Amino acid sequence: MSIFKKLGSNTSVGYSAAILSGSFFASAILGLLRDRLLAANFGLTSGTLDAYWAAFSIPDMLYFFLVTGALSVSFIPVFVDRMQSNNKKSAWELSSSVINLMALVTLASSILIFIFAGPLISLIAPGFEGERHDLAVALMRIVAVNPFVFSISTVLGAMQQASNRFFFFAVSPIVYNLGIIIGIIGLAPRLGIVGVALGVALGSVLQLIMHLIGMFGLGFDYQPRIYWKNKGFRNVFSLLLPRSLDQGIDAVNSMVERFIASFLGFGAIATYQYALNLHNQPIILIGVAISTAAFPSITKRAAGNRVDLFKQEVKDVLGVILWFALPAAAIAFLLRGYLVRLYIGQGNEMVADALAWFTLAIIFRALFHTLTRAYYAQRDTKTPLMISIVAIGLNIALAFMFVDWFENSISGLAAAQSVVAVIEVSLLIYILHRRLKGVITWKLIYAGFRILLATAAMSITTYIMVRYIFPLQALDVGFFTLAPKFLAILAVSGVVYILAGYILKLKEPTMVINSLKKWLFKPLSTKYFQ
């Protein structure tokens, strides 16, 4: 077996989650390094990074509308059905058709973005004038290639996910960030922020290459045509439209937030983006990684006749996500000063305040990814769409209102996101519980309460350490100054959390401690003494 076949071989849900979490963690570290280098080279308040982030608005919206999770969650269930019924011919026709149609649509859209970049920047960031507007236009024309390249990458990645082959899918975000870092270090000194945009284009191409390598051994028979009569192809697009609208609405919300921030002064867009990126990291590492790994398994449960097994699968995943998300949100709140200085390289009160208001969003957005996939596994993309329309409409209204209440601060945008995340997840849980009659049980609620108690014990420990043992000083800057203190606080807090959960008889810490006990007290083999 070749190395590519070995790395791309089928994996269990647990192992897949470990691969994805590990790769997402590595990607997150590179993403944080990328953003720190951007802040160091261009500054948050110069306006240059405002133009950089604004340039992504329309390409990102196009990507969210047409590709991203929309394609994955509509494509994977249909592809799995074809593969499980051993109808590979139909599966390859479906895959070829989706790749070709997505490539054609996104290529045409990317060309239009390139041509009309000027009016588009005026529309999404009317607060930009002169040089900042022109710079955003130039950057948008470069990153306009992303939707086209990403559309092909996403289909290939979805095929690998559906086949439980996660390695190259997991590595691709890492090489994407590496491409951007190459742009910052190698091209930006000569080309400025334009060099970074070229690094973005390079990263998207590198990501596509990784997905192509991941296809080795899958036996994909690509055909350069669209099979309009393929039932699976038609089925995918009947599921795709509602999910695409759902994802696209989220992108519209991001555009509105940047629209508002463009009037809040130089650096407001960049500052908000940095707080948003920090809050996104635990959501990606926990909610996205676990739910992505579990989605093929949840889909198979939904396709079977055992509703009880499907419900149990969803409850198990929700419990695991809650176990990780609650302490992650507490850490983000209590250690936000440390996190901001490690992330940006210096203190920034606006980013720290916004991150504090994002705390609830971290918990509920992590849960959101599993809940929506529970609907998609049942081939229901309309219910999440309807809820998202309500949620995004509310978020836009609250964003305008809260920015005014917070005296033109980006914290108002973060607070609006947290409020809406709670409402959106509550609606998803309520409808799913009514539909399946028993997703949310007293057993799950009791487990959640014990997780909350363990988080409270950890939070008290974290607060004591931050307040009295390792207080953050004004001169505490630099990675090697902050990292040892931060890691010490994190280690002690983690031990307290696991021990508290073990005392409260939660299954997750019990499994961790039992594994440690087996490893620490495992008898040595006599062969070492012979």
Token pair belonging to 248: 């696209």
Is residue 359 domain-shared with residue 423, that is, in the same domain? yes
Is residue 173 domain-shared with residue 247, that is, in the same domain? yes
Q: Give how many domains the chain has, as a whole number.
A: 2
Question: Does residue 2 sit within a domain?
Answer: no
Question: Does residue 88 sit within a domain?
Answer: yes
Is residue 85 domain-shared with residue 204, that is, in the same domain? yes
Q: Which whole number is the average pLDDT over 134-157?
A: 91
Does the pLDDT value for residue 84 go beyond 80? no
Q: What angle do CA 398, 400, 402 make, to 5 degrees?
A: 60
Measured CA to CA, the distance from residue 394 to residue 379 in angstroms comes to: 26
Q: How far is CA 332 from CA 44, 357, 406, 449, in A?
A: 21, 10, 21, 20
Does the pLDDT value for residue 166 go beyond 90? no
pLDDT at 5: 43
Task: Report the mean per-residue pLDDT for the chain.
Answer: 84
Q: Which whole number is the average pLDDT over 412-432?
A: 94
Is residue 260 domain-shared with residue 271, that is, in the same domain? no
Question: Does residue 11 sit within a domain?
Answer: no
Is residue 233 domain-shared with residue 363, that is, in the same domain? no
Give residue-wise pLDDT tens across range 444-493. 889 899 999 999 999 999 999 999 999 988 777 777 889 899 999 999 99
Is residue 143 domain-shared with residue 282, that is, in the same domain? no
Measured CA to CA, the distance from residue 433 to residue 285 in angstroms comes to: 26
Is residue 235 domain-shared with residue 183, that is, in the same domain? yes
Can you tell me which residue has the tokens 């139909």?
Answer: 90
Is residue 192 domain-shared with residue 205, that is, in the same domain? yes
Q: Are 431 and 383 in contact (CB under 8 A)?
A: yes
Give residue-wise pLDDT tens across range 317-368. 898 899 999 999 999 999 999 999 988 888 889 999 999 999 999 999 999 9
User: 7: pLDDT confidence band, cut at 50, 70 and 90?
Assistant: very low
519 or 504: which leads in pLDDT: 504
* Residue ending a domain, choose from 265, 297, 313: 265
* Residue ending a domain, choose from 265, 297, 319: 265
Q: Which whole number is the average pLDDT over 136-155?
A: 91
Is residue 337 domain-shared with residue 444, that is, in the same domain? yes
* Residue ending a domain, choose from 265, 284, 315: 265
pLDDT at 326: 95
Is residue 223 domain-shared with residue 276, that is, in the same domain? no
Measured CA to CA, the distance from residue 7 to residue 445 in angstroms comes to: 39
User: Collapsing DSSP states into helix, strand and coil, what is residue 5?
Assistant: helix
Does the pLDDT value for residue 67 go beyond 70? no
pLDDT at 248: 65
Q: How far is CA 320 from CA 21, 114, 210, 444, 466, in A?
A: 13, 44, 30, 11, 27
Is residue 234 domain-shared with residue 273, that is, in the same domain? no
User: 529: pLDDT confidence band, cut at 50, 70 and 90?
Assistant: very low
Question: Does residue 7 sit within a domain?
Answer: no
Q: Which of 388, 397, 451 is nearest to 423 (CA)?
A: 388
Is residue 443 domain-shared with residue 477, that is, in the same domain? yes
Measured CA to CA, the distance from residue 515 to residue 270 in angstroms comes to: 43
Q: Which of 414, 126, 73 is nearest to 276 (CA)?
A: 414
pTM passes above 0.85:
no
Give residue-wise pLDDT tens across range 182-241. 999 999 999 999 999 999 999 999 999 988 988 887 788 888 888 888 888 887 777 666
Domain that holds residue 216: 30-265
Q: Which whole number is the average pLDDT over 129-145?
A: 92
pLDDT at 317: 87
User: 4: pLDDT confidence band, cut at 50, 70 and 90?
Assistant: very low
